[in-house]
């Protein structure tokens, strides 16, 4: 890795964070009489951030009535903290307790750390994928400049989730299986779909070890004792997931309490295509069109990616759509780095590639504006 690139990327991840302060100040969303730091916190701590804070400070509540987990009946609904996985709030609770920090200060520090880890990890994986430092560097800039990539700087789980995904793939490439096993633990405890990331990661493992090539499996190598031993690294994820399921059962009486709680956000198991245009509001229309365009692009670049990365994209798109809602599709797409590998490669060949980068960055800040005014397309 080129040190100059790493330094620029770290400064970029920090600089773009603080540039977010300018928009709410300009439009007077957070109050010009407040100190700058308080204005910044107000601009990045919204929506789900308050649920994470509640869990960090109070933990999860015991449930005796299934309706207390969450429900939605027309205009009537109830939401609970059980819809959110524990790693991020637990991390902030730990640092708050050990260092005497408020949730805001703890979340801000982790945001700085993990957004930097994310962009460096993407650059590192780009070097593996492209074998070209300039293209790997440009790819990292594209993803973090892309519209709605501001989630990496909010008090959300995007930066952490992406960090553990990208370094998991890097560990597989370099055959660091003990470290991989450790990374899978927080990945599984960050989001409900964390356990499903195990599938593309294992496919990537098989590809890197010459066991899976062009959809063909070398069964002899698959059941080789050396491969079976290395495969044990992936067991940490299901073990942790089952342990968390047992905790949910003890606290609520339901092993999949987190899934039941999703009903409070009007999410229910649905055939993916039926999730589009279910409501007439602008946010639903926008997210539906956005998701369809991403799906079309994913299909178009399918042959340019290995099976493992295509499956990662497929899971990242299908799981949210199976919930019967297109809400937050922009968030879910922001971590689908394989799509950005191909996009950045196409733009990098253009003569005025950095002009395109600036246009993309401008659209990024336009999307962030929707966040500052609490527009539903940013939820």
Type and span of the H or E element at 45 = none
Higher pLDDT, 241 or 30: 241
Encode pLDDT of 120-162 as tens digits: 999 999 999 999 999 999 999 999 999 999 999 999 999 999 9
Dist CA 332 CA 319 (whole Å):
10
Q: How confident is the model at residue 29 (pLDDT cuts 50, 70, 90)?
A: low
Encode pLDDT of 44-76 as tens digits: 899 999 999 999 999 999 999 999 899 988 778
Domain ranges in the chain?
A: 3-64+84-378
Encode pLDDT of 249-293 as tens digits: 999 999 999 999 999 888 888 898 889 998 888 889 999 999 999
- The pLDDT value given to residue 279: 84
Residue whose token pair is 């946010």: 283
Type and span of the H or E element at 377 = none
Judged by phi (left if over 0) then psi (alpha if -120 to 50, else beta), residue 16 lies in alpha
Largest CA distance in the chain: 69
Question: Is 215 exposed, middle or buried (CB count within 10 Å of its CB: 0-12, 13-18, 19+)?
Answer: exposed
Encode pLDDT of 318-348 as tens digits: 999 998 888 889 999 999 999 999 999 999 9
- The pLDDT value given to residue 72: 87
Is this prediction's pTM over 0.85?
A: yes
Encode pLDDT of 68-102 as tens digits: 899 988 778 899 999 999 999 999 999 999 999 99
Q: How confident is the model at residue 40 (pLDDT cuts 50, 70, 90)?
A: confident
Asked if residue 30 has pLDDT above 60, the reply is: no
Asked if residue 32 has pLDDT above 70, the reply is: no
CA nearest neighbour of 318 among 276, 265, 261, 278: 276
Q: What is the mean pLDDT of residues 103-122?
A: 95
- The pLDDT value given to residue 329: 92
CA nearest neighbour of 329 among 374, 364, 283: 283
Higher pLDDT, 32 or 93: 93
Q: How confident is the model at residue 358 (pLDDT cuts 50, 70, 90)?
A: very high
CA 253, 259, 260, 261 torsion-angle sign: positive
> What mean pLDDT value characterizes the chain?
92
- The pLDDT value given to residue 28: 56
CA nearest neighbour of 163 among 211, 125, 128: 125
Asked if residue 199 has pLDDT above 90, the reply is: yes
DSSP character for 262? G
Q: How confident is the model at residue 26 (pLDDT cuts 50, 70, 90)?
A: low
- The pLDDT value given to residue 25: 64
């Amino acid at each position: 890795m080129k040190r100059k690139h790493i330094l620029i990327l770290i400064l970029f991840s920090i600089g773009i964070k603080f540039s977010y302060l300018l928009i709410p100040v300009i439009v007077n969303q957070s109050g010009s009489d407040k100190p700058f730091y308080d204005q910044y916190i107000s601009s990045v701590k919204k929506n789900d951030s308050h649920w994470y804070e509640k869990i960090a400070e109070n933990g999860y509540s015991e449930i005796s009535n299934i309706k207390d987990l969450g429900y939605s009946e027309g205009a009537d609904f109830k939401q609970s903290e059980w819809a959110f996985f524990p790693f991020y709030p637990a991390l902030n609770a730990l640092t708050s307790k050990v260092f005497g920090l408020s949730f805001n200060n703890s979340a801000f520090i982790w945001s700085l750390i993990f957004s930097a880890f994310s962009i460096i990890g993407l650059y590192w994986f780009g070097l593996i994928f492209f074998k070209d430092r300039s293209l790997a560097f440009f790819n990292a800039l594209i993803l973090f400049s892309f519209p709605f990539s501001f989630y990496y700087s909010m008090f959300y789980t995007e930066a952490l989730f992406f960090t553990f995904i990208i370094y998991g793939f890097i560990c597989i490439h370099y055959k660091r299986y003990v470290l991989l096993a450790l990374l899978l633990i927080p990945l599984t405890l960050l989001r409900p779909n964390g356990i499903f990331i195990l599938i593309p990661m294992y496919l990537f493992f098989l590809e890197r070890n010459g066991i899976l090539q062009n959809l063909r499996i070398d069964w002899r190598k698959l059941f080789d004792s050396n491969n079976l031993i290395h495969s044990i690294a992936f067991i940490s994820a299901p073990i942790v997931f089952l342990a968390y399921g047992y905790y949910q059962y003890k606290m609520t009486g339901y092993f999949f309490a987190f899934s039941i709680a999703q009903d409070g956000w009007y999410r229910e198991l649905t055939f993916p295509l039926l999730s589009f245009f279910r409501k007439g509001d602008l946010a639903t229309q926008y997210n539906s069109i956005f998701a369809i365009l991403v799906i079309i692009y994913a299909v178009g670049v399918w042959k340019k990616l290995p099976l493992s990365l295509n499956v990662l994209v497929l899971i990242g798109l299908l799981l949210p759509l199976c919930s019967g809602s297109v809400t937050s599709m922009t968030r879910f797409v922001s971590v689908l780095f394989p799509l950005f590998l191909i996009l950045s490669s196409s733009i990098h060949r253009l003569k005025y590639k950095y002009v395109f980068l600036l246009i993309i960055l401008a659209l990024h800040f336009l999307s962030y504006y929707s966040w500052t005014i609490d527009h539903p397309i940013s939820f």
